[in-house]
Structure formats: structure tokens, C-alpha cells
């Protein structure tokens, strides 16, 4: 078993994510949609929950919903 954090996080069950606080955090990631740059917003468990034209607006949306934002590289 690979002890790296990325391996461990990929294998968390939905119950594990709930315990970890997935409902309280969201992450953003740059994406290309129809040739345009955008920022996807995902819940902590990876579920897509929105999009924004830029990082500032994505973070503002996350904060408005009382969630903690994170950036995925």
C-alpha cells in the first residue's frame, strides 16, 4: 500500500469524507469549457457544485455558502 497522502485521499469512502468535513469545504480548479478558461467548484468529496469565470468569484461563492475554499493544482 502506497502511504502517500494522494493515495490515501483517493481511497476515502463517502463516510470517511463526511467525517473529514467534506460538507464544509470546497476546492477550485482551472478548467477549459468550450475553449474558454473557467474555474470549476467541487465539494470536498469531488462532486461538481458550480463554476465561475475566475478564481476570485469562485472563492467568493464558496465563502458565501459558508464553506472553506482550497485550490487544487
**Residues contacting residue 24 through CB under 8 Å, at least 6 positions apart:** 44, 66, 67, 68
For the chain, the structural domain boundaries read 5-71
Q: pTM here?
A: 0.67
Instruction: Compute the C-alpha angle 14/20/70, nearest 5°.
Output: 105
| pLDDT tens figures, 10-36 | 776 767 666 665 667 888 999 998 999
| pLDDT tens figures, 28-60 | 999 998 999 999 999 887 889 999 999 999 999
3-class secondary structure for the chain?
Answer: CCCCHHHHHHCCCHHHHHHHCHHHEEEEEEEEECCEEEEEEEECCCCEEEEECCHHHHHHHHHHCCCEEEECC
Amino acid at each position: 500500500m502506497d502511504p502517500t497522502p494522494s493515495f490515501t485521499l483517493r481511497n476515502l469512502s463517502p463516510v470517511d469524507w463526511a467525517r473529514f468535513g467534506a460538507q464544509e469545504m470546497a476546492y477550485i480548479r482551472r478548467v477549459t469549457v468550450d475553449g474558454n478558461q473557467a474555474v470549476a467548484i467541487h465539494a470536498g468529496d469531488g462532486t461538481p457544485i458550480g463554476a465561475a469565470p475566475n478564481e476570485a468569484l469562485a472563492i467568493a461563492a464558496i465563502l458565501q455558502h459558508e464553506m472553506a475554499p482550497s485550490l487544487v493544482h
